[in-house]
Amino acid sequence: MQISDKIFEQITYVEKRYAKFKQIFAIFVESAQDLVGENSPLKALKLEASAEGNCLDVFFAGIHMRFLLLPCYGEGESARGRVVCSRNIPTLYKDSDILGSFTFSTDGSTDFDTAPGRDLIEMEYDATKIVLHFVHMAINKPLPGLVA
C-alpha cells in the first residue's frame, strides 16, 4: 500500500466539500419537516435533527431510523455526500442494521434511479419521498434472527 503524495490536498478538498454537503443536508432535513407538520396525515412519525447537522433521526411505530451524512468519492474522485440510513428497534435489538444509502452532488441531485424522462431525485424537493422510502424499507426488511 502506498500513501499518496497529495493526501493533504485530497483531504482538504473533501473537507471543503463536506461543509457544502452539510448545507444541502440541512435543506433536506428542513424539507422533510413537511412530514410532521400540523397538516400532515402522519401522526406516528417524529423527526429529530442532530446539533452537529450531520444526522436526522426518524421515529415511526417503534422503529428508529438514522440518516447519517458522510463524505465519499464519486466518479473521477469528485467528492460527494453519502447518506447512510440505518434501522434500530431498541425494544428488540441493541444494534442497528443498514437499510441502504444514496449519494448526492453539490447541486443536491441524488443517485436514486428514476424512470426515463423523469426528473432526478433531489435532496430539497424530494426529501419527504426519500424519508418515506426508507421508512417503507424499514418496515419491509426482515428482522435479524427471525424466520418469517
Please give the pLDDT value at position 22. Answer: 97
Nearest to 102 by CA among 89, 116, 87, 113: 113
**How distant, in Å, are the alpha carbons of 11, 66, 72, 82 from that of 7?**
6, 30, 15, 20
Share of the chain above pLDDT 70, in %: 96
- Structural domain includes residue 1: no
Cβ proximity of 67 and 134 under 8 Å:
yes
Q: What are 108's three cell numbers?
A: 443536491
Q: CA–CA separation, 96 vs 64, rounded Å?
A: 9
Q: Which domain holds residue 90?
A: 7-140
Question: Which of 134 and 4 is assigned the larger pLDDT?
Answer: 134
Q: With respect to residue 93, please indicate whether it lies within any of the assigned structural domains.
A: yes
Q: pTM for the complete prediction? A: 0.89
Q: In this structure, is residue 91 part of a structural domain?
A: yes
**Tens digits of residue pLDDT in 79-96:** 899 999 999 877 776 777
- pLDDT at position 148, please? 52
Give the model's confidence band at 145: pLDDT under 50 very low, under 70 low, under 90 confident, else very high. Answer: low
Number of domains in the chain: 1
Check residue 78 and give its pLDDT. Answer: 85
How far is it, in rounded angstroms, from Cα 112 to Cα 142?
23
Answer yes or no: is 148 within a domain.
no
In a domain? residue 2: no
One-letter amino acid of 112: F
Does any domain span residue 50? yes
With a cut of 70, say whether residue 77 has pLDDT above it.
yes
Mean pLDDT of the chain: 90
Residue 75's pLDDT is 81
In this structure, is residue 55 part of a structural domain?
yes
